[in-house]
Amino acid sequence: MTDRLDFKAMCARFDVTPRTLRHYEYIELLAPDREGRARFYGPREVARMKLILRGRKFGFGLEEIRQWLELYDADPDGRVQMRRWIEIADAQLAELAERRRHLEEAIAELRTLRDGVAEGLVTAAAD
């Protein structure tokens, strides 16, 4: 069994399109080994892909993810990276809380409007 995945296997493992994987390479989030035109992803790239997708799930931008991943190479014991992660996680939690507040307001407003229209429809039908 090999520790490397080819391009197609990497796409399948992470359920991403070839275009997405190429884009992550283009913006230097991933750097697969190349043999001719073939690309191979080792354990480092697989781990980075997991972190990229987790970051995207939490709403981080690709540039934020890149900056955080770059710290790993410059920080062998990981302390700087962990501190930075806490900073950006705190900022993202605040952003998500704000979005939730806006969504709750929109839901309440839409529900009120919908209920008003439904009541008007019942009243009109009774007349």
pLDDT tens for 7-29 read 999 999 999 999 999 999 999 99
- Give the Å distances, CA to CA, from 37 to 44, 85, 126: 20, 35, 72
pLDDT tens for 80-127 read 888 888 998 999 999 999 999 999 999 999 999 999 999 999 888 887
Instruction: Evaluate whether residue 34 is within a structural domain.
Output: yes
Quick one: which of 57, 55, 39 has its CA closest to 47? 55
Instruction: Evaluate whether residue 69 is within a structural domain.
Output: no
pLDDT at residue 99, as a whole number: 96
Overall pTM > 0.85: no
Domain assignment of residue 15, given as a range:
1-60
Same domain, 79 and 50: no
Same domain, 37 and 89: no
Burial of 52 (0-12, 13-18, 19+ CB in 10 A): buried
Instruction: Evaluate whether residue 106 is within a structural domain.
Output: yes
pLDDT at residue 26, as a whole number: 95
Q: Tell me which residue has tokens 């931008």.
A: 61
Same domain, 94 and 126: yes
Instruction: Evaluate whether residue 67 is within a structural domain.
Output: no
pLDDT at residue 1, as a whole number: 45
pLDDT at residue 71, as a whole number: 80
pLDDT tens for 57-84 read 999 999 989 888 888 777 778 788 888 8
Instruction: Evaluate whether residue 28 is within a structural domain.
Output: yes
Q: Tell me which residue has tokens 């009243």.
A: 123
Same domain, 8 and 48: yes
Question: What are the counts of helices (DSSP H) followed by strands (DSSP E) for the chain?
Answer: 5, 3
Quick one: which of 72, 1, 59, 65 has its CA closest to 29? 65
Strands, E, within 36-82: which ranges? 38-41
Number of domains in the chain: 2
